[in-house]
Amino acid sequence: MSNNHQFTKIFVNPSYLCSWNNNDKVEIHTIETLKQDYPILFNEQKNEIFCCHVNGLDDYSFIDYIKLSSKGTGLKDTKNTIYVKPIDFLNVPFDCDNMTITRIK
């Protein structure tokens, strides 16, 4: 049986689980909806540091976290099956003040 798959590189649109005040408010966002609903997070002057509590990952400003965590590519074969490369930021929570953000897709 031959394994002749043809792959097309695709970009995966990341999703984030966001929570505030110890889960008083929980929402799922894309980068676009975060920009729309919470533009203050993308303010260069207020660019706050988000701390990671997992060994091996650094703390990042919010803007750097979004840039780094959104770099995910996958491969889609001719049968439209998506194979996503592992991403270091998946399921790793980052905290800043009363907000926690975790990349979930």
Q: pLDDT tens string for the chain (105 positions)?
A: 445 655 555 556 789 999 999 999 999 999 999 999 999 888 888 777 888 766 667 788 888 888 878 776 555 555 655 554 545 678 888 888 899 999 888
CA 79, 85, 87, 90 torsion-angle sign: positive
| Structure confidence at residue 26 (pLDDT) | 97
Give the 3-state secondary structure percentages of the chain, helix then strand then coil, rounded to 5.
20, 35, 45
Note whether 15 and 105 are within 8 A (CB): yes
